[in-house]
Amino acid sequence: MRKTNRTRLGAAGLTCAVLLQTAAAMPVHAADSYVFNDTFESGDGGWEKRGGSTVKAVSENAYAGSGALAVTGRTDSWNGAQKDISSYCKAGETYSFSVCARYDGSAKSVEFMLSLTYTGADDKPVYEHLASAETISGFYVQLANDSYTLPADAKDPVLYVETKSGTTSFYIDEVICAEKGTVIEGPKPAKFTLGDVDFDGTITGADLSLAKMYAGKDFPNASMKKAADVDQSGTVDAADIQWLHGFVTGEQTAYPEPVKKQPEPSNFNYNPNLQYHSLPDGYLDRSSNPGQVIKETYQGTTGTNTLYVYLPVGYDESKQYNIFYLLHGGGENENTLFFQNDTMMQNIFDHMIENGDMEPMIVVTPTWNQTGADKFYTEFRDKVVPFVEGKYSTYAENTTIEGLQASRYHRAYGGFSMGSVSTWGVLCNNLDIVAYYMPLSGDYRINGLNTGYDKAKRIADAIDASGLEKDEYYIFCATGSDDIAYPNMTPQVEEMKKMPQFVYSSDLSQGNFYYMVSPGTTHWWGWVRHYIYDILPYFFHEHQNE
């Protein structure tokens, strides 16, 4: 067991002499106070995977010493790392538990949980949470309970670490079980504050020194860079250094106004008059290197609801992904897009990514069946997006309304038939969190909108109310010339073309609205999936630095 003082540099890997949250000495404990102490210096300490995960002792990102346990490949929040403690802990006895945990990734924060399961008197599993704590990327946090009593009837106890939500990979280190009442000191939760680069709770000369040291370079972790970027311009530069200097000397007392980022010009090769193209041969076949389709259950506005999430092959929760929400038509449900012969969209997405037609992205197929297509925009905003993007890695740093608004250029919504109806509804009510729209074979249907002009005017009014400029929203429609939706969709589109809110072109660097009509095709997914193949590669190229 390890009880000597050590310098901890795991959170940032720093060697500079500043007082970081992760650069204090490990406290010393009496030898007889430890029941076990897993340091991961020379192995996994008996820790195993829990659920769909992989665990491995690694010589990186340690809290103390040089070893930690990496937990990767998680597919649900309860997946993690576990250890059978039946040979260490006796039923009816009280113990002190502590573990240090951290993650590296795009999520703004992660809440870790130290939990325990055992078989109860009725031979059924019992699950208990011993401790929880939230931290930010790159910083360890301690999960500790200094007085937990293992019930007298508990059998086969297993200690494990999980997260409250999400599937981010993480590390654990310094797992300690000690005598009851033993106070085991550890890293405190790191809280984010602009300017507090070393996360010690105050803005001092140490923060200024760190900002100077790493300005124009790679910071030890993303959280430190974000804290140093005081004007929120996306880079740490002279303006940030000047403000930090002024704050430390007392010349500055208020934060600078955030710098509005100028969109970088898109280098995507758009066709300004895109026409229908059929899927290439083989795109409907199963890929030899497929992505993953996961069924999820969440609490909707009217009760429990389900959806499916497509993750591209090689999905890495430390990366950020664009996300596309794709809705079914009437008489269908969330299963339609992935599990019937005239869709099989996962095969198409796999091949499109594999062949470079589009970047890897996440695709979600919810259902509007519980709310109605025209009312789904509320559940989408309040329930679906926070649930999905709180669990999977998108550009949303958090699922507050501010986090969703800040990531709107990386979010798209589309649907077929009544799913297209829901798309127009989302456009008119959620422009602040979605920038790209793909209404397919369906017009805007809502009481009181009877003509193409009425529908177009309602959409234009919603855009005006949003305050968005013409280069801040994109609508790419499609249908077939023999589709039953064509006679209703076309008059609405023709009226939209006349309105100043819409600039007609499929070159989204020059316009924001386009209508692709496929000759001779009808109201059927067997055709519509080709429209998605044509349109989706045109999304997510504008405002990519936002």
**Terminus-to-terminus CA distance in the chain, angstroms?**
48
Query: Can you give the pLDDT at residue 477?
Result: 98
> Which CATH number does the domain 292-538 belong to among 3.40.50.12780, 3.40.50.620, 3.40.50.1820, 3.30.870.10?
3.40.50.1820
Angle value at C-alpha 37, between 125 and 134, nearest 5 degrees = 65
Give the mean pLDDT of the chain.
Answer: 90
**Average pLDDT for 514-531:** 97
Q: Same topology for domains 31-179 and 193-260, yes or no? A: no
Strands (DSSP E) contained in 123-185 are 125-135, 141-149, 155-163, 170-179
- In this predicted structure, the answer to whether residue 19 has a pLDDT above a threshold of 60 is no
Residue 22 has pLDDT above 70, yes or no: no
For residue 376, the model assigns a pLDDT of 97
| Closest C-alpha to 222, from 316, 107, 358, 367 | 107
For range 108-131, the mean pLDDT: 92
User: Mean of the pLDDT values across residues 260-265?
Assistant: 73
* Band of pLDDT at residue 32, cut at 50, 70 and 90: low
Assess whether pLDDT exceeds 70 at residue 27: no
> Residue 276's pLDDT is what?
97
The pLDDT tens digits of the residues spanning 358-379 come to 999 999 999 999 999 999 999 9
- Element housing 337 (H / E): helix 336-339
Task: Identify which of 545, 501, 503, 532 has the alpha carbon closest to the alpha carbon of residue 266.
Answer: 545
Query: How large is the average pLDDT for residues 165-189?
Result: 90
* pLDDT for position 525: 96
- Alpha carbon 31 to chain centroid distance? 43
193-260: CATH topology = Type 1 dockerin domain (1.10.1330)
User: pTM value?
Assistant: 0.67
Instruction: Report the C-alpha gap between 46 and 38 in whole angstroms.
Output: 9
What is d(CA 274, CA 517) in angstroms, rounded to the nearest whole number?
10
Q: Which of 28, 39, 45, 62 is nearest to 182 (CA)?
A: 28
10 pLDDT higher than 80? no
pLDDT score of 89 more than 50: yes
- Report yes or no: 438 and 532 within 8 Å, Cβ to Cβ: yes
pLDDT the model gives residue 248: 94
pLDDT at 74: 84
What integer pLDDT is reported at residue 167 of this predicted model? 78
For 404-455, the pLDDT digits (tens) are 999 999 999 999 999 999 999 999 999 999 999 999 999 999 888 889 999 9
CATH of domain 31-179: 2.60.120.260
Q: What integer pLDDT is reported at residue 164 of this predicted model? A: 87
Residue boundaries of the structural domains of the chain = 31-179, 193-260, 292-538
